[in-house]
Structure 1
Amino acid sequence: MIYFCCDQRRREAVRNSALNGIDFVEVVDLEAANPADRQRFLHLYLVNDPGGMVYTEDNLRFEGGAPVDVVAVTMGLDGQQNVMVIELVQAGDFGPYRLNLVTSHLNPAPPPEIDPTLASVTFSFKVECPSPFDCLTDCECETPQRPETDIDYTARDFHSFRRMMLDRMSVSAPEFATGHPADLSTVLVDILAYTADQLAYQQDAAQTEAYLNRARSRISLKRLTRLLDYAVDEGCNARCFCHFTVSSDILPMAPQTVVIPQGSAVCTRLNEMPVTFMRNNALLAQSGAVYETCHPITSLHVAHNEMRFYTWSNGRCHLPKGATSATLAGHFPDLHAFTYLAFEEIMGATTGNQADRVLDHRQIVLLVNVQVLNRDNEPLTDPITGEEITLIEWHERDALRFPVCISSETAIEEGRRFIEPISVARGNMVLVDHGQTLDDDELGQVPASHLRWAPGKGLVESLRKSAACADKQCEQEQAETIPAVFRPTLTRAPLTFAPRYLAGEPAVDALQIPLPSETFPAITIEGDDGVEVLPYLPVPDLLASDGTSRVFAVEIERDDRAYLRFGDNEFGRRPLSGTTFTARYRVGVGTAGHIGVDKLHHLALNMPEVTGVRNITAGKGGRNRETHAAIRKRAPFLFKTQERAVTREDYQTLGRRVEWVQDVSCAYVHTGSWITTFALPDPKGRVGVGDGQRVALREHYEKFRLAAHDVDVSTPVYVPLEITLHVCVAPNASKSHVRQRLLSLFSPKRQANGALGILHPDQFRAGQILHLSPLLAAAQNVDGVIAAKATRFRRFGDPRTSGLEERKLLFGRTEIARVDNDASHPGNGVFLFDLEGGR
């Protein structure tokens, strides 16, 4: 036999013919009744019954291994006539043997009734012997030798490739290497050189994009920096609060419905257009900026267009800075908690002219409590005048940043004219953010796969390396399909990245600039595969997605074009061929949405009752996309940011990342089988640490602590002090003025210039040594003070702790000094002055 066939069908052909042949041979080894007869008997099975044909030892010939002698040949075994029992003198060795059926010792040809193809069989006497090796053998296919060709690998452009090919042809095919432009061979060389030039360009581009300092594509930079766990900033859209003025109440037609749905567009002024009109994306694109509502509006009320403050019959009133409550003049039963209210100055406080109003005196607050009825479920009224009133409270995060003037009086030159109202409150407010929604953008259809690997060269070939030699030789090689690349792009740019808005969020938080990790692409897509329409969700990257997730990642190129990348059935689900995608997304991002106040003018919704649209606050919070230079500068330094708490200094540094923590002191304590770090926080601007803050700081440390290293947050112990200074006042200085200056300097609050008072809680640290000399130096620097001397310097009520001799007070690790200097609560620390002299 000169070749090997995987499908052995010759036996079937012989079985249905008049010829006979060898089917297989068995070596009687372990089944021998007598151990001495092991491997001495062979059972040769024929394909067909030989009938009257009898074979003897003259018809057998053994090849290979040590010589073996045949004792006798018997036809038939246990009623099977197609079996020849061959008895040998001795067993063969470990080598392979070949048993042939021959005509006679002198004629090696097969008998005429035996098929030549099945006239021999290969076997081994030791097939049942134990072996330490695997029965399968390696299949080492010989690698064909290829002739070596001299190639100039420095050729990288069209001309060098063309020259190299012509030089090669001049050696291999001199009759074709003419170089004449009209020859077919030259035309083919030019085409191949052009193709090689394009491939070389792509190779150079790939080499360029593989390094952070050379990459020109923003997508390449994003993927490279992702390896460093660096999130590229894709920007953020701007936000502001919009006010709607209505001519009549607009109420929902049915429960659980809204009058202005989420995503309704408002835009800047368009010439010759009414305040409200049916939405038209082409018309909206002509405006300077398009904003959309972030929350639905359930109702609009005429009474909320402008609401005056109630002054309780007083004049020249104002709401102080930091106020969180007020009284409105009138009964407003439709004013509810967790809605936004705007405070706006509408005229100058000194002249009464609208043109003199301060545009910055505007603030949005989130109502948390509205009281319109008394205990008898009747409208609240002033018990003196009987006028109806409404009490409102707003979130402490939205405490007034400036005094709100309510009523005033003009100067003498203006005639002492009483002015009211200076500022008013406005309802019908909603948060809007920059970006225009585009519907039904066709992204195209997933193409069918038309490329395939050559047989045996695909990715599945790696799974067949452990197969047996015969299996690999006999398995029919299939051409593996290469999935088609589907990376659609959006028609319009730039794609909006926005934070996720929460209902009932304080206004100050809604206008803050979010972190890059807190902004998400404003896009949703749907895929129609002909059977059903399924949504696909955007994710920052596909690494955390499994093969069944219908997700996609958005990648922004340097020209602001957005590319969509789908999964590969390992990280995200690959769309089926023929699936058609449509996208709904928003465009508009960055500081382009930073518009001034009162710039919004139109509502893209047919509502004639809306007579006015304007933004009370300016657009803010927008952030442009991160530049290439910024990415290259920041990403490599991410490794230098400490993200593990190992030493005490690490716990202090990581603890200061929490907003309310001023400083942290740590101690290592062995608490049994492990070490526990006890973190003692020092809060900013206040005294005391609440249980919620302790839990929050403990959870903050959880992602930084070492394994088998516990963290616990302790509560600081505040130690009240008792300090008295004897101050000598200059003879020409007013004693009361000096005392006033000293009390302002030694205050637990902020001074008028914004500086911290010496007794402010942020001036003291846990375990810090309090020295007396800085206190005396500060007192002596006050105008009108000649000298200062401490007469009492100790812990409150404990004469044994006096620090006058050592001129310092010592505190434990968990102790923080406290001097509130509050006459109503002297137990929280006192700081007294004994003034002598002056006038």
Structure 2
Amino acid sequence: MTRLGNAERLEDRARDLDGKGLNAFRLAYVTLDAAPKPAFAWLDVEFWNANALAPLPPREAFKIQGATRQRSGNPARAVAVLQVLPGAGNTLRLQIAPVGDYSTYLLSTTSVGLGAPDNALPLAMDPLLNALPFKFRPGCFNLNCTPMEKGRPAPTEPEIDYLARDYDSFRHVLIAAMMRRVPGWSPSSEADLDQVLIDLVAADADEQADYHDRVMNERALATARKRVSLARHARLLDYHIHQGNQASTWLALEVAGMVDLPATGQDEFGVWSGRAWQDDDAVIFAMARDGGSWRQRCFAQLNRLRLYTWGKTVTALAAGSTEADLTAATPLTQTEAEALRDFFLGTHASQVPGPGAADVNTAVDQLLIQEALNPETGTANGRRIAQRQLLQLLPLHGPIARAEALQDPFTGEWLVRVRWRAEDALRQNFCFVCDCAGQPVEDVSLFHANLLRVTQGRPRITTFRAPGQPLGGADERSFVASDSVSYEIVLRQAGSASPPRGVLCPLPASPLAYRASAPGGETPTRTTAQVMVQGFAEPWQEQSDLIESQRDDQHFIVETDELGGSSLRFGDGSNGAALPMGAFVQCRYRVGQGSQGNVGADSLVGFVDASGAVQRVWNPFDVTNGRDPEPAAEIVRRVPEAYRQHQLRAVTLDDYARRAEELPGVAHARARYAWTGSWRCVQVAIDPAGGIVLAEPLRRALADHLDAVRLIGEDLEVGAARYVPLDIKLSLCAQPAYWPEDLRAALEEEFSGGWMRDGRHGFFHPDRWTFGQPLYASQLIGRALSVTGVGRVLRTSMRRWNPGSGGGLTEIDIDPLALPESRLEKIPVGPFEIIVVANDPDHLETGRIRFEITGGRR
């Protein structure tokens, strides 16, 4: 047995043996004979005292044990004491033979077989100190003098089932462990204390395993399920997930007198669908509090405007019209006409903002034209809701006047002529006067100028206070709901004295409405939250993240989870300013989002107005721009590849062309390199959508758009494409039942450069032709044969308008007896050329097509 003890206390025990009449080994010196192979060794054994050393003990009183190779227990070659001689002081000299090996031997005393007085020393030896280890050769056997330490077998590890991840498996593991470690234990009644403890531990382990699994799922984009995690993973790849956006629409009003909306003393002006805004299925809209002039001033003079029909001679406005002559319900005098004109020009006396009305917008920039009566019956029943259009008036300071007052010299009545943008030209005919049952019916269509923009969502105000501060009351009965909650201080570590990581303000109502933004990941989303912090005069600004926010930037971010709940997060003083201690935060926001706000026309008819001046409201158009949040599955699919779609630098010519085609108004683009004599230039040719004239505003916008991505050292030139006019002649044979004149009109429409009556593009519509696209004779023949009444095509001839620029006359005679005949005839064009055939007799240089018709009805 190996004993481990305190060395100092063991030495104290040995010194005290003399007083007890006992003795013990202290140390020994080994001396070998000088011969190469010594036959014996001398062992000088020193004792702690002289007790029992006289008379001299016999050699049988000493016993030697140990050794690994030459053991002392072998009778033939046993290591034993040969004789005992007295030594100096408390020492005995023992002769030992034979000399043992390199292992450690143990010298002890024994009284077995001895009688008095030979057994005096063994009986006087302290049992604790009656053993003395020694070596015959204390030197190292080799160069490794490190004492050998015996190893121990590794302790048996408990069997743990690492696949246990739920309550049942954890409970099974605990029961098995108890049965292995507690002998005789077995599961018994569920009411026993040990069983209850096992169940409690298993339940807690189940919760911890579930939390661990959820945390591990959030570490990667493909497995994350939390929308906040998906948004953060997406931002690492410069992708902004789309949180949906609130619906928005135009609202038309009729008012009594002049009124500002919201009225003075009223916080919001809202409208809704259904009977009351408190209904569960009501869809609420309100004015957006954006910009400095977010309120709107409406005027009774602009409720309903009639078309001046010049004595019922002008009964309709044709599609493509960009101006109209307006009058009121009663004939206008000169003063009234000039006043109405001033409303459109923004110079009317009532449009001057008064005291406390700096946030009121008094401009009249839009007109609404809509069908009020059914032109077939003269009543409101059956009127076409789709027969409506929003018209954006011309700029105030443009070359053409937006509005002007005119007088009809025939009747002496006054009128106001208003003009709107060419891109808002009427898409269809609008009827204003019709005959029903032999009686003329006027005001079939009307104009409205009291228009304002509204967005979906019920207004709400939430006040956040520091934890421990008293909260204010809540009001859910008002149109603008209000409540008060405590914000959360996010600590860096529980119990840590370091500054907090920030402040989290969970919004109590959901879903938070997001403003309109384009999907695709490029545009950061913005919410309707407007945040004011106590002690700051300006509202804090919303950001996508706080990474680039400085320590004094008044920024916050909004995070929305998969359940629709949103929270405001403020900075920690390093990234974004920290909230002052004890300051309260007021957040005004909208609740409502997505496709729930998409309602039909004339659905928003309920309204709240404290002034009582609003008589009627309605939404003229279907609301269709409400969008739901981007699904998680689409986020996981799009984010890893979305960055490939965002070209931030034009490296190749195709990059320039694709970049140009991103702008509205551009149908096609083509780029090429040119040498200016000093540096390389990129020339970009543009084919405008719906025409052949590149407007200067579009050209400047394209130049700025392309300049942002061009390479350093490359100049940029933006110009129109080179258009190639053609001179084409088709000889056709009409079927016997069709008049040639009617067939010619149908052919001219089929091969026109505009829109056909059935909504199709004409054959030479500019959007059907692009750079380098040749014209094949077979295309002309096939399109001509598609016109009802054409029997067959006899001959086609086509060439460039100016033969000297390339491409002579190409003629094809079609002999029906020689069919089928394969002939490929075409007019080739260069890579930067586009075919154009406008067939305008006033501008023959833009191409023409002629038809020679034989046969038919005569």
TM over 0.5: yes
Q: Closer, same or farther in 2 for the Cα pair 1:285/1:339, shift >3 Å?
A: farther
Counterpart CA distance in 2 for 1:260 and 1:358 is: 39
Q: Closer, same or farther in 2 for the Cα pair 1:284/1:740, shift >3 Å?
A: same
Partner of residue 507, structure 2: 490
Which amino acid in 2 is paired with 1:198?
E
1:499 aligns with 2:516: yes
1:715 aligns with 2:720: yes
1:402 aligns with 2:428: yes
1:488 partner SS: strand
How far apart are residue 153 of structure 1 and its match?
7.1
Please list the CA deviations of residues 274-329 of structure 1 after superposition, one character each: whole Å capped at 9, or x if unmatched: xxxxxxxxx65767122112464554333322221111113471111222211112
Match for 1:216 among 220, 225, 243?
225
How far apart are residue 212 of structure 1 and its match?
2.8
Q: Closer, same or farther in 2 for the Cα pair 1:248/1:433, shift >3 Å?
A: same
1:689 aligns with 2:689: no
Match for 1:381 among 395, 399, 407?
407
Counterpart CA distance in 1 for 2:319 and 2:560 is: 44
Please list the CA deviations of residues 492-539 of structure 1 after superposition, one character each: whole Å capped at 9, or x if unmatched: 111111239xxxxxxxxxxx99998375200022334xx667743222
Counterpart CA distance in 2 for 1:396 and 1:259 is: 38
Which amino acid in 2 is paired with 1:630?
E
Matches within 5 A, 1:348-363: 348-363=374-389
How far apart are residue 237 of structure 1 and its match?
1.4
Partner of residue 237, structure 2: 228
Please list the CA deviations of residues 564-600 of structure 1 after superposition, one character each: whole Å capped at 9, or x if unmatched: 2233444333435544333211111112122333333
Counterpart CA distance in 2 for 1:351 and 1:583 is: 53
Which amino acid in 1 is paired with 2:435?
E
Match for 2:633 among 624, 629, 634?
629
Match for 2:443 among 414, 421, 427?
421
Q: Closer, same or farther in 2 for the Cα pair 1:156/1:179, shift >3 Å?
A: farther
How far apart are residue 408 of structure 1 and its match?
0.3
Counterpart CA distance in 1 for 2:696 and 2:254 is: 45
Matches within 5 A, 1:207-606: 207-250=216-259, 263-270=268-275, 288-294=282-288, 296=294, 299-315=297-313, 317-329=315-327, 330=332, 331-332=336-337, 333-334=339-340, 335-337=343-345, 338-368=364-394, 380-410=406-436, 414=437, 416-442=438-464, 444-445=466-467, 481=498, 483=500, 486-499=503-516, 517=523, 520-528=526-534, 535-606=539-610
Please list the CA deviations of residues 88-130 of structure 1 after superposition, one character each: whole Å capped at 9, or x if unmatched: xxxxxxxxxxxxxxxxxxxxxxxxxxxxxxxxxxxxxxxxxxx
Counterpart CA distance in 2 for 1:639 and 1:395 is: 37
Counterpart CA distance in 2 for 1:536 and 1:298 is: 25
The answer (yes or no) to whether the contact 1:453–1:481 under 8 Å persists in 2 is no
Counterpart CA distance in 1 for 2:265 and 2:324 is: 29
Q: Closer, same or farther in 2 for the Cα pair 1:261/1:634, shift >3 Å?
A: farther
Q: Closer, same or farther in 2 for the Cα pair 1:314/1:166, shift >3 Å?
A: closer
Which amino acid in 2 is paired with 1:823?
P
How far apart are residue 183 of structure 1 and its match?
10
Which amino acid in 2 is paired with 1:421?
D
Counterpart CA distance in 2 for 1:627 and 1:513 is: 12
Which amino acid in 1 is paired with 2:840?
D
The answer (yes or no) to whether the contact 1:317–1:405 under 8 Å persists in 2 is yes
Deviates more, 1:702-711 or 1:533-542: 702-711
The answer (yes or no) to whether the contact 2:405–2:417 under 8 Å persists in 1 is no
The answer (yes or no) to whether the contact 1:177–1:185 under 8 Å persists in 2 is no
Partner of residue 724, structure 1: 729
The answer (yes or no) to whether the contact 1:590–1:624 under 8 Å persists in 2 is yes
The structure number with the bigger radius of gyration is 2
Counterpart CA distance in 2 for 1:249 and 1:447 is: 47
Counterpart CA distance in 2 for 1:233 and 1:394 is: 35
Q: Closer, same or farther in 2 for the Cα pair 1:837/1:266, shift >3 Å?
A: closer
The answer (yes or no) to whether the contact 1:453–1:482 under 8 Å persists in 2 is no
Deviates more, 1:218-227 or 1:699-708: 699-708
After superposition, the CA RMSD in angstroms is 4.2
Counterpart CA distance in 2 for 1:159 and 1:813 is: 73
Match for 1:741 among 740, 746, 750?
746
Which amino acid in 2 is paired with 1:317?
T
Counterpart CA distance in 1 for 2:769 and 2:543 is: 46
The answer (yes or no) to whether the contact 1:327–1:390 under 8 Å persists in 2 is yes
1:608 aligns with 2:612: yes
Q: Closer, same or farther in 2 for the Cα pair 1:653/1:771, shift >3 Å?
A: same
Partner of residue 838, structure 2: 820
Please list the CA deviations of residues 216-246 of structure 1 after superposition, one character each: whole Å capped at 9, or x if unmatched: 2221222222223222111111222223323
The answer (yes or no) to whether the contact 1:821–1:831 under 8 Å persists in 2 is yes
Partner of residue 700, structure 1: 705
Partner of residue 783, structure 2: 778
The answer (yes or no) to whether the contact 1:537–1:551 under 8 Å persists in 2 is yes
How far apart are residue 667 of structure 1 and its match?
2.3
How far apart are residue 387 of structure 1 and its match?
1.4
1:336 partner SS: helix
Counterpart CA distance in 1 for 2:418 and 2:232 is: 51
Which amino acid in 1 is paired with 2:765?
H
Counterpart CA distance in 2 for 1:378 and 1:724 is: 47
Q: Closer, same or farther in 2 for the Cα pair 1:176/1:449, shift >3 Å?
A: farther
2:307 partner SS: coil
2:540 partner SS: strand
Please list the CA deviations of residues 798-818 of structure 1 after superposition, one character each: whole Å capped at 9, or x if unmatched: 497414279433433333332
The answer (yes or no) to whether the contact 1:722–1:794 under 8 Å persists in 2 is yes
Equivalenced residues, count: 634
Which amino acid in 2 is paired with 1:347?
L
Counterpart CA distance in 2 for 1:341 and 1:186 is: 79
How far apart are residue 181 of structure 1 and its match?
9.6
Counterpart CA distance in 2 for 1:799 and 1:201 is: 78
Partner of residue 793, structure 1: 799
The answer (yes or no) to whether the contact 2:296–2:452 under 8 Å persists in 1 is no
Partner of residue 31, structure 1: none
2:243 partner SS: coil
1:200 aligns with 2:226: no
1:216 partner SS: coil
Partner of residue 662, structure 1: 667
Which amino acid in 2 is paired with 1:491?
P
How far apart are residue 822 of structure 1 and its match?
1.1
Please list the CA deviations of residues 454-475 of structure 1 after superposition, one character each: whole Å capped at 9, or x if unmatched: 9xxxxxxxxxxxxxxxxxxxxx
Task: Provide TM-score, normalisation by structure 1.
Answer: 0.66
Which amino acid in 1 is paired with 2:246?
N
Q: Closer, same or farther in 2 for the Cα pair 1:379/1:728, shift >3 Å?
A: closer
The answer (yes or no) to whether the contact 1:730–1:837 under 8 Å persists in 2 is yes
The answer (yes or no) to whether the contact 1:803–1:809 under 8 Å persists in 2 is no
The answer (yes or no) to whether the contact 1:448–1:577 under 8 Å persists in 2 is no
**% of aligned pairs identical?**
27
Please list the CA deviations of residues 126-149 of structure 1 after superposition, one character each: whole Å capped at 9, or x if unmatched: xxxxxxxxxxxxxxxxxxxxx998
Which amino acid in 2 is paired with 1:757?
G
